[in-house]
Amino acid sequence: MSGDSTPPLPPIESPPPESMGEPRAPLTPPRTPIPADLDTPWDKADVVIFFAFGLLMLFLISSIFSALAVAYLHVPVNQVVKFGATNAGFVVSRQVVWFGCLLVYLYAVIRRRTAEPFWRAIGWRKLRLGEAGGAVLVPAFLLGGAMLALGADLSSFLYKTTKELPIEALYSTRRGLEYVMAFGILVAPLVEETVFRGFVYPVLARRFGIFLGITLTGALFGLVHMPQLWGGWGQIATLLVVGIVLTAARAAGHSVLASYLMHLGYNGFLFAGIFMTPEALRTLHP
């Protein structure tokens, strides 16, 4: 028999791509780890709800205090709005009650989200800035706040506001100044730093990045104070810058304690300047 009698082999078929192994998932870049001081169990929805709660409570507390002023302080109804904006004892008492409600609300929210102690969860941690410890950082941030206040005071020479600002009505008497000073040193730095740099800033920093988080938090801090400075646009612009610097201190120190100390130094320097200036004290009514 002529030729090769071996039957031809069937052609080798290439295996389908699926038989060469499981399909590989597309490669994704690894997620950047969230810094511990920004890794909080609340998000932007909680911040929005918090501000809605704060506005509602401000309205309710203002209404209750106004009713008490009419009923027990015999303030005429047509004068109660002016009284509620110019009587320092009344304004400070109302503000303290409001701030207390805000802290209680934050405590309730955070206790439901984490077993971590409240103050640590909301950002009050040990200062951390390179190799420097608290013994160096505490006076440094206090001094930084005083220098920030000095800069804000000097910047006032760049603008002249002839209109009396709403907050200036609270300084018309020495007793009023004492009320506002006690509030500005003992209460405001603690609560405002807890709210803005402890509760709000981590959410904005995670969502927009550190730089924008610092800028937006500082701007929000300044805008919330606008009613007190209405008409003083230079003062409002200065306070926006102050809010950004305070937030930058919190970001640098990885703790609300950093911005609190700077805020305390800022307010303390401003009030000390008033009491150390005889000309300013002579303008106050007894």
Tens of pLDDT along 36-54? 889 999 999 999 999 999 9
Distances 40 to 36, 47, 245 between C-alpha atoms, Å? 8, 12, 22
Confidence of residue 34 (pLDDT cuts 50, 70, 90): confident
Is 11 among the domain residues?
Answer: no
**Hey, what amino acid is at 285?**
H
Rounded CA-CA distance 235/229 in Å is 7
Answer whether 142's CB lies under 8 Å from 262's CB.
Answer: yes
Domain coverage including residue 81: 37-282
Confidence of residue 13 (pLDDT cuts 50, 70, 90): low
Is 105 among the domain residues?
Answer: yes
Task: For Cα atoms 142, 145, 146, give the angle at the middle one, nearest 5 degrees.
Answer: 90
What six digits make up the tokens of 9?
């082999």
Confidence of residue 22 (pLDDT cuts 50, 70, 90): low
Distances 54 to 59, 74, 183, 227 between C-alpha atoms, Å? 9, 28, 19, 16
Nearest to 97 by CA among 137, 134, 61: 61
Per-residue pLDDT, 215: 97
Is 236 among the domain residues?
Answer: yes
Tell me the pTM: 0.84
Per-residue pLDDT, 66: 96
Number of domains in the chain: 1
Confidence of residue 21 (pLDDT cuts 50, 70, 90): low
Is 3 among the domain residues?
Answer: no
> Who contacts 188 (Cβ-Cβ below 8 Å, separation ≥6)?
263, 267
Per-residue pLDDT, 235: 87
Confidence of residue 171 (pLDDT cuts 50, 70, 90): confident
> Who contacts 47 (Cβ-Cβ below 8 Å, separation ≥6)?
199, 200, 203
Q: What is the mean pLDDT of residues 215-232?
A: 90
Per-residue pLDDT, 272: 87
Is 248 among the domain residues?
Answer: yes
Is 2 among the domain residues?
Answer: no
